Amino acid sequence: MLVFWPQKLVFLAVPKTGTTAIEDVLGPIADMRISSPPIFKHMPLVRFNTYIKPFILDNFDVKLETVAVVRNPIDWLGSWYRYRSRPELVGQPNSTREISFDTFVKGYLRDKKPAYSNVGSQSVFVSRHKGPIGVTHLFQYEQMEKLIEFFERQLSISINLPRLNQSPSRELQLSSDVEERLRKRCAAEFEAWSAARR
Number of H helices, E strands in the chain: 10, 5
Structural domain total, the chain: 1
pLDDT at residue number 55:
79
Per the structure, the complete domain to which residue 127 belongs is given by: 2-197
Contact between 33 and 27 under an 8 Å Cβ cutoff? The reply is yes
Could you count the other beta carbons within 10 Å of the beta carbon of residue 72?
Answer: 18
pLDDT score of 161 more than 90: no
Task: Kindly report, residue by residue over 66-101, the tens digit of the pLDDT.
Answer: 999 999 999 999 999 999 999 999 999 999 999 999
Secondary structure (3-state) at 124: helix
pLDDT score of 38 more than 90: no
pLDDT score of 168 more than 70: no
> What's at 76, amino acid-wise?
W
Task: Kindly report, residue by residue over 47-67, the tens digit of the pLDDT.
Answer: 999 988 887 766 677 788 999
pLDDT at residue number 20:
87
- Residue 193 and residue 153: Cα distance in Å, rounded? 23
Q: What is the DSSP letter of 141?
A: G
pLDDT score of 198 more than 70: no
- Residue 148 and residue 31: Cα distance in Å, rounded? 19
- 7-35: average pLDDT: 93
- Residue 166 and residue 90: Cα distance in Å, rounded? 18
- Whichever domain contains 24, its CATH number is 3.40.50.300
Could you count the other beta carbons within 10 Å of the beta carbon of residue 147?
Answer: 24
- Residue 176 and residue 174: Cα distance in Å, rounded? 6
Q: Which of 186, 13, 172 is nearest to 79 (CA)?
A: 172
Q: Which residue has better confidence, 64 or 153?
A: 153
| Residue 166 banded pLDDT, cuts 50, 70, 90 | low
